[in-house]
A and B are shown apart, each in its own frame.
Chain A
Amino acid sequence: MLLEDELKYIFEDIRQELHEGTNQKELIQIAEYYFGGNGKALRPMVTLLMGKAINYHIHRENSPRTVDAQRKIAMIAEMIHSASLIHDDVIDQSFSRRGKPSVNVLWNHKKVTQAGDYVLAIASIMLSRLKHDEVTLMLSAVLNDLVQGEFMQLGAKETENERFSHYFTKTFRKTASLIANACKGSATIAGADPQIVETAFQYGKNLGLAFQFVDDLLDFVSSSETMGKPTAADLKLGLATAPVLFACEKYPELNPMIMRRFKEPGDVEKAFELVHKSQGLEQTRFLARKHCLEAIKLANKLAESPYQKGLVDIMDLVLNRMK
């Protein structure tokens, strides 16, 4: 893979930053638990590829001095992501993540919560060292998006025709915002012109949305072994994602179940079955493909380079991944 070594060092450097921030051993243990390298590392990978593709687009062979700052943005993006996973696992009472027991199984929940705050604080300190007001604002806005996305997930009060737009907004805030803003930050710090900055943002946004749609799809088809987390987890958490929303168009009996968040006995099984009987999964894949194609179109606006090609190729992985 194009960036394999570089990604390995990103995780090593994150762990080092976390070690340097404190001498409390248990805090370090929890904070670095999800930086073991078992993750997909999608966020740092995309951020690095975007940074390098844009550097080539502007400077061709002369690699600019901003490379190190872009690398830091990739690290910060992964740290914000992990902090949110740490908090999600406490909220959702998960069992496992990335093929191992999740943080909430192993440690005191109050400590786990604080460890998430710690990871954010360290990321924020690193961000301030970049000394770039706009980039700081972008990545700080992501934190707000993440929380607001979680809040949107709490209640299903919206009417039927609001549901899709609610789901889109939620997906942007919970998943796409971080990738989009990390790409935008990387482009901004490289000194790209506003059009290219916008291209980077839109690419990240489309990739993020497609990634999450596929994730929501896999929740219905993958087995727990390949996903590293249990199947139909979303239904069990009371969440209606794209496959259910599409299925609901054909089977309106899903409506009351969505409203009561699949709480009654048999709801989860029934909804699962109806999704499979409907075209919901195909329609979700189609939606993901649409955003993948859009992202590829945007990537093709950049000068051709191995990294730019990486931005195109990665969409195939996003769409056709099995886990």
Chain B
Amino acid sequence: MLNRFTTASLVRKIVYSTSKDLNLINLSKHISSTSLSNVQNATKPIRKHNWNQAVSEAEKIVGYPTSFLSLRWLLSDEIANVALHLRKLVGSNHPLLKTAKNLIYDGRSNMQAWGLIVLLISKAAGHAPHIPDLEEDKSAGVLHSQRALAEVTEMIRTSTLVHQGMVNLQTLNHSGNELAADSEMIFGNKIALLGGDYLLGNACLQLAGLRNQDLIGLISSAVRDLAESNFVGDRDDENIALPSDPALKINLTDDKPLDDFDNTRDIDMSLIFGHPEREWNFRHTLSSGTLLGKSCQGTLKLAGQSEALQKHGYTFGKHLALAYQASMDLEPFKLQELPLTATFSLISAPVLFHIDHDPSLYEEIRCGKKSVTNIDFRKIHKIVTDGPGIDETKELQRKHGQIAMDVLNEFPDCDARTALQNIILAMQCL
């Protein structure tokens, strides 16, 4: 979507400007000193907090990169089948092709990052003495079961992305006697649906193989959260999320954080909608926070760690996911001008913050009730870029990154912890 070269130069600019930030400098000092005291560590202090470098250094720490998983997929009959069918879709407009391309090429939203985080936190925490040595993958310092869980996390995340990359064909009222143009779309949906189901089914089976019922309940609840996230708030006909009407905002003197929940049943939605940070928090906790949080919690469960440390794992994973989301939300706004056909998430933090600052922006959003294609993205981009939403989002990003950072201090100093710290820092500069 965004040109790589322009973003790269923008990233450099941002790195330069944000390094003036005191907070960040303090953190970097902290990281380099711990790394220096640990000369034999695989990770060296990373000056520029480059994302790709942070990730590839981190991958070395936990043995082979988790992208080994993709190799296994390529060797499976069903996926080979899907790849074969995908070729038939080349030339059609089905978004599944784009989903597939993003999964393979996009270095930042790629599926491997989640599994990697799970492996790193596993190594950082170590495992309880009662876990037999046989269970451990010595070279990497993680348990075989933890590696399996990291794969499950990646499969679930990918499955959701693939299912979301379908097309709504409800408006086709000629079910059964399809037209040629529709048949490509119907076929694309079929492959996306089955492909996602295949990943989800495999994830369930692999999870069941870990023989830990508490873990299965925990990860299943993350799958539930992901499904639920697709129903929250206003949406257009393609189920693309729209911000809530700012008129719905209820100001509370008692500002409860509203971000700690085991399920959403007990949440009063009227307190969520229209309030920028709460709405952002709620939507993204469901759509990515709980999966990473519960996976980090689960991997510590597998390691036989205390309930308290497991809870830390959840907090770490959830806030890391939110910090990552905020970084992604900022990305389109690093461009001076939005390319003609480009779009961005309308429930991204900069947009929500701006609507709160100036509710008149919501009038532009209203045009997209039926389809977001009716929205003038370039206009919104311009307005938001010039407004306070960007800085507020940077603040939000740092806030969640800092919470994740603080949790890491509960873990012993080691190469995996340093790698996680570097990933958090690199995120701020994405």
| Residues of chain A having any CB pair with chain B under 8 Å | 20-24, 26-27, 87, 90-91, 93-95, 104-111, 113-115, 117-118, 120-122, 124-125, 127-133, 136-137, 140-141, 143-144, 146-148, 150-151, 154-155, 230, 236
Contact = CB atoms under 8 A, between A and B. Distances in A.
B224 A125 contact: yes
B237 interface: yes
Interface string B161-204: 00110111110100110100000001001100110111011101
Interface string B201-230: 110110111010110110011011011101
A148 B78 contact: yes
B269 interface: yes
B177 to A, nearest CB: 8
Given A113-B166, A124-B223, A136 B232 contact: no
B250 interface: no
B277 interface: no
B60 interface: no
Tell me the interface secondary structure of chain B in the complex.
helix
22 contacts: A20-B265, A22-B228, A27-B231, A87-B193, A95-B175, A106-B170, A110-B166, A110-B239, A114-B230, A120-B200, A124-B220, A130-B213, A136-B213, A144-B202, A144-B204, A146-B197, A147-B194, A151-B78, A151-B81, A154-B81, A154-B85, A154-B190
Given A108-B237, A136-B216, A113 B193 contact: yes
A306 B200 CA distance: 39
Interface residues of B, number: 55
A87 B209 CA distance: 25
Contacts of B196: 113, 117
A165 B221 CA distance: 38
A304 B65 CA distance: 58
Contact of B217 (A24, A95, A129, A151): A129
A110 B220 CA distance: 20
A155 B169 CA distance: 23
B93 interface: no
Contacts of B237: 108
Given A23-B267, A93-B178, A151-B78, A114 B227 contact: yes
B205 A143 contact: yes
A140 B170 contact: no
Contacts of A137: 205, 208-209
B137 interface: no
B190 to A, nearest CB: 5
From B167, B170, B176, B238, name the one whose CB has the most chain A CB atoms within 10 angstroms.
Answer: B170
A125 B230 contact: no
B215 to A, nearest CB: 8
B208 A140 contact: yes
A127 B212 CA distance: 12
A83 to B, nearest CB: 9
Given A131-B213, A143-B200, A108 B232 contact: no
A90 B195 CA distance: 14
Nearest to B220: A124
Nearest to B222: A121
Given A110-B239, A147-B78, A136 B224 contact: no
Given A117-B160, A128-B216, 14 more contacts: A23-B265, A87-B197, A104-B169, A108-B235, A108-B239, A110-B163, A120-B200, A121-B221, A121-B223, A129-B217, A143-B197, A144-B202, A147-B78, A230-B176
A170 B193 CA distance: 18
A105 B169 CA distance: 9
B76 to A, nearest CB: 11
Contacts of A104: 169-170, 175
Contact of B175 (A105, A143, A146, A147): A105
Nearest to B173: A105
